[in-house]
Every structure is written in structure tokens, then in C-alpha cells.
Amino acid sequence: MDIQKETQEKIAQLQMLEHSLNNFVSQKQNFQSQILEVENALNEMQNCKGKVYKITGNVMFESEKEPLSKELNEKKDLLDLRIKSLEKQETALEEKAKKLQAEVMEELDKHMKNGNSD
């Protein structure tokens, strides 16, 4: 049973697409985790009556609530945009993978039928 070179290349492409999809899922989870951290920080700031602090690297600075809140909201918006972008790319890759998988399955079916009829 010798699978055609073209089919083997499509199978390799499918594996690369699967790897890319896994990377997108991982990145999306990372961004979602960062959003949760930002949301928790914003909630804590709302409930906080005293001073607020910001950590940059290994240094903690006293900060004003308003600018820090604005900065966190901007970070959250940016993360939301990145997630939406990843989801669009993920959807496009999934569609491409489904199409490629259907082609591979069709070629394998033809190969099996031709192999059995000999």
C-alpha cells in the first residue's frame, strides 16, 4: 500500500495545522488568564479605600487610582482584541484543516478501493 506523495504532503500539512491550532489555543488561554488578573485588580481597586500600588518588574510604586484604572482597562481592551484576532485565525485554520482532512480521506478511500480491486 503506497500512499501518493501528494496525500502524504497533505497529511503533513494537517499535522502542521493541528500544531498551529494548539498554539492558538495556548495563546488564547494565556490572554484569558491575563484578562482575569486585570479584572481582579480592577475589582480590588474599586473596593480599596486607601492607597493603590503598581508593580513594575521587581519594584512597587504608589499610584493614583484613575490612571492605573485607565491603564488596566486599556490592557484589558488590548487583550480582548488579541483574543478576537486569534479566534478569527483559529476559525480560518479549522476550516482549512477540515477541507484538507476531507481531501485526504477521499484520497485514502480511493487508494483503498484501488488497492482492494487488484
DSSP 33-95: HHHHHHHHHHHHHHH--S-EEEEETTEEEEE-HHHHHHHHHHHHHHHHHHHHHHHHHHHHHHH
| Cβ-proximal residues to 52 (8 Å cutoff; 6+ apart), any chain | 45, 62, 63, 64, 65, 68
Please state, in angstroms and as integers, the Cα–Cα distance from residue 110 to each residue in 1, 15, 93, 99, following that order. Answer: 12, 21, 26, 17
In a domain, 92, yes or no: yes
75-91 pLDDT tens trace = 999 999 999 999 999 99
CATH number, residue 93: 1.10.287.370
24-64 pLDDT tens trace = 999 999 999 999 999 999 999 999 988 999 999 999 999 99
In a domain, 21, yes or no: no
- Per the structure, the complete domain to which residue 60 belongs is given by 27-117
| Cβ-proximal residues to 79 (8 Å cutoff; 6+ apart), any chain | 31, 34, 35, 38
- Kindly report the pTM of this predicted structure: 0.79
Q: How many domains does the chain have?
A: 1
